[in-house]
């Protein structure tokens, strides 16, 4: 059974810092991995999608990497801003299964 783990569960950093969020998964038979952002009580906003054949994807200040063999992904946020405060979720799309398996998320707080 695929399990997705995100560490840490919560992170608080001062504005301007670069930071890394971690995601690990137990089964490397994935189609892709997607990072989402969720604001309190709100929906999920897709940030980055990495296909299983790719190593990384970039969008603005965000960079996501994927190491399928070790079952790890990282989301790098450069020059953090208070508006980046949210919960970040990673999810893997399994081969042979029509669903996403989500991690529990990392709750990020950027302090002005």
Give contact residues for another protein (rule: CB under 8 A): 31-32, 34, 36, 41-46, 49, 51-52, 89, 91, 93, 98-100, 102-105
Q: How far is CA 52 from CA 29, 56, 77, 87, in A?
A: 9, 10, 21, 24
CA 109/CA 15 separation, integer angstroms: 9
Q: How far is the CB of 72 from another protein (least distance, A)?
A: 19
Cβ proximity to another protein: between 80 and 92 the closer is 92
Q: How far is the CB of 58 from another protein (least distance, A)?
A: 15
SS3 82: helix
Cβ proximity to another protein: between 69 and 98 the closer is 98
Neighbours of 54 (CB within 10 A): 14
Cβ proximity to another protein: between 34 and 65 the closer is 34
For the chain, the farthest-separated pair of C-alpha atoms sits apart, in whole angstroms, at: 45
Q: How far is the CB of 14 from another protein (least distance, A)?
A: 28
């Amino acid at each position: 059974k695929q399990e997705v783990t995100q560490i840490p569960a919560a992170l608080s950093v001062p504005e301007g810092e670069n930071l890394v969020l971690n995601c690990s998964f137990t089964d490397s038979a994935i189609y892709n991995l997607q990072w989402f952002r969720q604001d309190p009580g709100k929906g999920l906003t897709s940030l980055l999608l990495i296909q299983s054949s790719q190593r990384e994807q970039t969008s603005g200040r965000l960079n996501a990497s994927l190491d399928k063999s070790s079952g790890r992904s990282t989301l790098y946020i450069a020059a953090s801003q208070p508006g980046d405060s949210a919960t970040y979720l990673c999810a893997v799309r399994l081969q042979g299964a029509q669903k996403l398996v989500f991690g529990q998320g990392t709750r990020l707080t950027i302090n002005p």
